Chains A and B, each alone.
Chain A
Amino acid sequence: MQAQTLYEKLWSSHVVHEESDGTALIYIDRHLVHEVTSPQAFEGLKLAGRKPWRTSSIVATADHNTPTDHWERGIQDPVSRQQVETLDANIRASGALAYFPFKDVRQGIVHVIGPENGATLPGMTVVCGDSHTSTHGAFGCLAHGIGTSEVEHVLATQCLLQKKSKTMLIRVDGRLGKGVGAKDVALAIIGHIGTAGGTGYAIEFGGEVIRSLSMEGRMTVCNMAIEAGARMGFVAVDDTTIEYLRGRPFAPGGDDWDKAVDYWRTLHSDEGASFDKVFELRGERIVPQVTWGTSPEMVTGIDGRVPDPAAERDAVRREGMERALQYMGLKPNTPIEDVRIDKVFIGSCTNSRIEDLRQAAAVVRGRRKADNVRLALVVPGSGLVKRQAEAEGLDDIFTAAGFEWREPGCSMCLAMNADRLEPGERCASTSNRNFEGRQGAGGRTHLVSPAMAAAAAIAGRFADVREIL
């Protein structure tokens, strides 16, 4: 048999029907649901007199709108509250494999709770009305974001209409230096291939560096695939994947576990499989990354400077850079280490897992945030992450350093709740998007790793975490 890529294996195992132009009906194993992109889908279903096809595929939680403090007060914003209550009502009516509502101990960011509960498994198709669904690809599954019409389509039919993507292999070989992590790998890749570099592709991440990452690290890399334009990014199954899943609540048990593992071991690209595109990067060459603009591709190393638009020859790109620097309040050629910050956000579906919090805590331990940093926020990805971190004493390390330790949720990654930047405020953020207004109207976002966010909080400006560790 011809050598197949992991993508081809996952794709062909889910084709229900194929049209003459290659558009296929793809079966969906896991449907993650949150409050923002589902109400119109449930309503559409009801209006058409349709019923959900298989509610045991649904895992739901409220994450985007939920507050991260004073839970005893409930959700203060009435519009947010209505959206969360609408999710409650919809899931109550439809049923689900699992629902972790606001304040539940297992509530959290949908892309954190799926994996930690073993609801994301290798070989699955996983969808959610959220672009960062690519995160789940870390488990060797086909996972991608969908719009609300497609949420309704999956609810009604358990399938999606899709065309096969092109395939791209991103190999990161060698090893990462001290203080350099998965987030830096992701940002460095985006810096090289651009935010549209992966458009139309399904990206497989491979190579020694990816193999050596924990599941948390792999999730960070796959999470950012969408910022490189690829709806999905994934990593082949190996011992790390299998050991992570063993014993999780929704992972198979008993004989099913052995049967599953036998199958999962086949979920890798075959030797000699060919990709439409290959991009290679050496781990040693990656330094801690900091974005300087309003697109994740506007990124440089901590040892770099804000670029000068005058050096850009393409007029549309040059104007884009000028607009970005104006929005960001930065001057060309400023050393990144001279950029002072006002706030720090450690959290989001990119970097709110236990390993992320450990990495940040290792930098913070025994130090204090700088006085010019008005707020340093740590928002765990889920109630379980929070509990684990507290068991390890990480919360004490953060609070002793002047950070705020909050309840789980999406929080200041997109500022749908009360956590946000004020106009002009500059933030070192472990989230995934530095778009204009993303963290609050007029807010200025610099994307960094958890360790670099922690280092920035201590220094009050961007600092090279390699010199602190």
Chain B
Amino acid sequence: MSADERVRAEWPLYEVFVRGKRGLNHVHVGSLHAADDEMALRHARDVYTRRNEGVSIWVVKSTDIAASSPDEKDPLFAPSGDKVYRHPTFYEIPDNVPHM
């Protein structure tokens, strides 16, 4: 097998998400290579949770993730930029009004 073929035969890339403890979301921690889902979970356990960093792991093939493009940043996120009335600080309430 040539060097190029060996590189092409590489296992697929998986993204790894770990729930640090009960009550928290799964958070992206990195990626790894594995032949299939089961191996990806085992490898994720070994690579990303050697010191009780997690109580639950998700793995997903990197190619299955749809991501927003940095080029669309403006059209995608700009609309929320000028809607200051969506924030509580937009509204002035007198200091003598309690619990608000």
A, B: real partners: no
Spell out B's residues near A (CB within 8 Å).
none
Spell out A's residues near B (CB within 8 Å).
none
